[in-house]
Amino acid sequence: MGPHCECDENALSTGSCKGSVEQSSCSGRGSCYCGQCVCHPSTYGRVYGAHCECDDFSCVRHRGLQCGGKLPMGCV
């Protein structure tokens, strides 16, 4: 499966697309494809991160820095 035949049926598990057991797959903001998240586009800004847990619009800016420069771990 996949555009380059890079996945097989055993690789379609969504477990690797969750940051933790209680989280939804790809933080509810993306699709799990071949065990990796593909983040959905947003009209508000960019969604990114291994589990689509980061964005550039959920936190206010302070002195030009998103979240005052204190982004969640793994978000840069």
Tell me whether residue 54 is in a domain. Answer: yes
The CATH number of whichever domain residue 64 belongs to comes to 2.10.25.10
pTM attached to this predicted model: 0.70
- The pair of three-digit structure tokens given for residue 60, joined into one six-digit string: 């206010």
CB 39 within 8 A of CB 49: yes
Report the number of distinct structural domains present in the chain.
Answer: 1
Tell me whether residue 74 is in a domain. Answer: no
Q: Which residues on neighbouring strands pair with residue 36, listed in sequence order?
A: 33
CB 48 within 8 A of CB 55: yes
pLDDT of residue 29: 93
Tell me whether residue 3 is in a domain. Answer: no
Query: For residues 30 and 46, what is the distance between their CA atoms, to the nearest angstrom?
Result: 12
Comparing 5 with 22, the larger pLDDT belongs to: 22
Domain that holds residue 22: 9-69
**Residue 3 CB partners (closer than 8 Å, separation 6+):** none
On the question of pLDDT at 68 being above 90, the answer is no
